[in-house]
Amino acid sequence: MLTEFGANLTQSGEYDAYAAELAAEGFAPEKIGKYGFAFEGKRCLIG
């Protein structure tokens, strides 16, 4: 379940909207990293 959630999180449209806002403020698009964090008990997935 944790792996599925992490995979879906990085595909979220919210990331694209946030990246577009940063680019509009002058940040270079290639410098904007996209990461997803998922927690389940003591386990953490970063993707």
Amino acid at 40: E
Give residue 28's pLDDT: 95
- Whether the CB-CB separation of 36 and 10 falls below 8 Å is answered with yes
Give residue 44's pLDDT: 81
Burial pattern 22-38, b for ≥16 Cβ within 10 A else e, equals eeeeeeeeeeeeeebeb
| pLDDT per residue as tens, the chain (47 positions) | 656 665 666 566 667 788 889 999 999 989 988 777 778 888 887 77
Give residue 46's pLDDT: 79
Distance CA 41, CA 21 (A): 33
Query: Which pTM value belongs to this model?
Result: 0.53
Give residue 24's pLDDT: 95
